[in-house]
Each structure stands twice: as structure tokens, then as C-alpha cells.
Amino acid sequence: MSLVHVVGAGPAGSFAALSALKSGHEVFLSEEHEKIGQPVHCSGLVSASGLEQMDDVVPYKKIIRNPIFRANLHGANSTFSLSYAQPKAYVIERGKFDFLAAQKFIDAGGKVLSKHGVRRLEDLKSKNVIGADGPISTIARLFDFPRIRAYTSCWQGDFSHSCEDIGAVEVFFDPRLCPGFIGWIIPTGEETAEIGLGVAGAKGLHAARGQFLSKLGLKDKKPQSEFSALIPLHVRPQTGKIRGDYRVCLAGDAAGQVKASSGGGIFFGSSCGRLAGRLFEWPEEYEAAWRKKYGLDLALHGLLRQGLNSLPSFGVDLWLSSMKALRFERLLAESGEMDEYSKMLSARSLGAWARAWVGGRKR
């Protein structure tokens, strides 16, 4: 049995801590904030398939705010819509997700030390370390991991806002509104919504926020609450290393295990956290394991982000119009994945889309 110090009690950290505990290890889980899950720095939209895979730790049905059946993808002058018979995603109470994940660890016999920030090597309780401490990771800095190449600066507010369809999320791709990333409206109830956007780099967020809210007719409306955050847009080149007597693994945002297409990181962070909890004694094996299982999917999200970033405003409209013409809504409605894109590349999925497209042309 080994002792491991997991730094950060977000989803990646709590899943890692629970995984290590169940593997028979002694675990020290620390969190710099007083309350786990607070403050919230993330939207609450999570894929239904991802939540199902995490349900053994977090019973997500207890924290659902709103099911999402549809997605409307907006360019400057084009819209591509997707509809599903069953909820494709859920808006959840994001802070409660973190709390329940940590509570599962506590119920299994683990202990969480709140208000314990790690700033120096002397703050660590073990030579085995899992850094799940966010995009600007102190653990990554202390152990000289290579930097994440790019981030997006994001802002989100909780608004009183009446949506025409509370089962639909609105996603905005016009680079004039949100250069280098996306904007979103996520209904959370009959008269409330999470509204936000991101921009590439560290500058221009304030101006983009004003322009985006003006387009939505919300420039003079104050949010009930709001936050700003950084989201990694690239996987960190290295996420596991041995340095002297230390064995160190990074998971979640600290590792850049985030969907570059949309910024979502709960599923991949939690899943890679599980692996880190089992393999922290062998950082190279951890690195190989998560890249083998999730590397392709994260790379596909990255390729989509790079492709979108290369398009001018009219190019985004052409992209959306092309997906309509090619009947991609059929493929995405039947086989679409918000997280694991590689599943859409199966022969069965592509065959179903091809048959739908050929059938559509004949009519």
C-alpha cells in the first residue's frame, strides 16, 4: 500500500482519489477552497452518455436541472439543427456534482482536507502526487512539466432569460462574435439560462462579451451571478513523470484533458482521473493508458477546433450549409457523440449515414 496526495477535489481529483482508495492505497485529498464545488467555474451541460459512465460515483439524476433534446448551431447567416428522441445532454447542478464525487470518496473511508492549498513542495504529504489542480496547475509548475500551448478565456453569467425551446441549447460559431471559440445559451429552467462565450488568448473577452450580449438583446441586463475562467485548448505534451523520489501524474484541466471543441472537461477529466488513481506509481504507464483510451477522441476535438479557427465568418456558414446538404443530421442524430467522437467513425455509423444520404438524393 502506498500513500498518494491528490491535489484538487474537482471531478478529476475526486475520481482519482476514490480510484486510488479502492485500489488499496492511503489517499490524502486536498482542496484549496473551503467548500468543495464552490465557487463554480464551469457550465452545467454534460453529455448523457458521459453522465451514465460516471453514475457509479455521482448519481446524476439527483442533480438534473434540465434535459437537452436539441442543439441549434449558428453561424452568421446559417443554422444547423439537431434533434434527438432521448436527452442527449443534461444541465446539472455543477457544484453538487463536485460535492457528490467527493462525498463518495468520503463515504468509502477517505478524508478531504479543505483550505489546503499547495504552493511549495513542502506542502505535499507524499512523494506520490496526482495534480488535479486546474488549468494553471501548481503541480505542473513545481515539477517542470511542459506548458499547455493555448487557452481560451471564457465568461458566463446566469440570466433571467426566456428561451423559446428550453430543451434546446444554442451554440454560436461566428468568429466575429467569439473569435477562436464559441458562444452558448444553455436553458436551465423555464425563465433562466446560462449564457456565455470564450475567445482565444487572454485579451478581448470584455469587448466580445458586450458585443455578444448586444446581439442577444441583453446588453443592459445584469446576470444573477457570473464568472470568468481559463480553459485549455491543447493536451499538455507530458502528463506523467518521475523526478527524483517523486512520482507525479496530472489529470483533468491540469493535463489539458478537455474538449477543445467546446471546453467540456468533466467526462475526460474524471475518466483519466480514475486511471491516475490506479496507476500513479507508474507515471509512464498512466500516460500511455489514458492516451490509448482517450487520446484519439481528444485529438479529434482538437482538429475540429483548429478547422473552425481557420474559417472566416462566411466559411462557418458554408460549413453549416454543407452539413445540411450532406445530411449529417441523420448521422449525428443516430450515432452522434458529444465526447467520444471516434465512435462515429465506425463502419456501422458511417454506413447508416451513407444510406441516408443516398436515399435523400434519390427522392
pLDDT score, position 346: 54
pLDDT score, position 328: 74
H or E, element range at 90: strand 89-92
Task: Look up the CATH number of domain 3-149+233-307.
Answer: 3.50.50.60
Mean pLDDT value across residues 340-352: 62
pLDDT tens for 27-46 read 999 999 888 878 777 888 99
pLDDT score, position 105: 97
- Going across the sheet that includes 183-187, the strands are 79-83, 70-74, 168-172, 183-187, 192-200, 151-160, 225-232
Q: How far apart are CA 157 and CA 165, in angstroms?
A: 19
pLDDT tens for 143-161 read 999 999 999 999 999 999 9
* Pairing assessment for the beta strands 70-74 and 64-68 based on DSSP bridges: unpaired
pLDDT score, position 43: 85
Mean pLDDT value across residues 157-184: 94
pLDDT score, position 192: 94
pLDDT score, position 87: 94
Percent of the chain with pLDDT over 90: 79
pLDDT score, position 42: 81
Q: How confident is the model at residue 327 (pLDDT cuts 50, 70, 90)?
A: confident
Mean pLDDT value across residues 162-177: 94
Select from 169, 203, 172, 187 the least CA-distant residue to 84. Answer: 169
- 193 beta partners: 159, 187
- 184 beta partners: 171, 196
Q: How confident is the model at residue 347 (pLDDT cuts 50, 70, 90)?
A: very low
Mean pLDDT value across residues 35-62: 90
Whether the CB-CB separation of 30 and 113 falls below 8 Å is answered with yes
pLDDT score, position 334: 62
Select from 310, 51, 300, 65 the least CA-distant residue to 169. Answer: 65
Mean pLDDT value across residues 15-34: 95
Whether the CB-CB separation of 199 and 152 falls below 8 Å is answered with yes
The domain ranges of the chain are: 3-149+233-307, 153-232, 309-362
CATH architecture type of domain 153-232: 2-Layer Sandwich (3.30)
Helices (H), 1-137: 11-22, 48-53, 94-107
pLDDT score, position 338: 85
On the question of pLDDT at 352 being above 80, the answer is no
On the question of pLDDT at 253 being above 60, the answer is yes
Helix axes 328-335 and 347-362, enclosed angle (nearest 10) = 140
Mean pLDDT value across residues 207-228: 93
Select from 23, 25, 22, 24 the least CA-distant residue to 5. Answer: 25
On the question of pLDDT at 333 being above 70, the answer is no
Q: Where does 217-336 show beta strands of DSSP type E?
A: 225-232, 240-243, 246-250
pLDDT score, position 117: 87
On the question of pLDDT at 323 being above 90, the answer is no
On the question of pLDDT at 17 being above 60, the answer is yes
The more confident residue out of 353 and 215 is 215
Q: How confident is the model at residue 350 (pLDDT cuts 50, 70, 90)?
A: very low
Mean pLDDT of the chain: 91
Mean pLDDT value across residues 90-112: 95
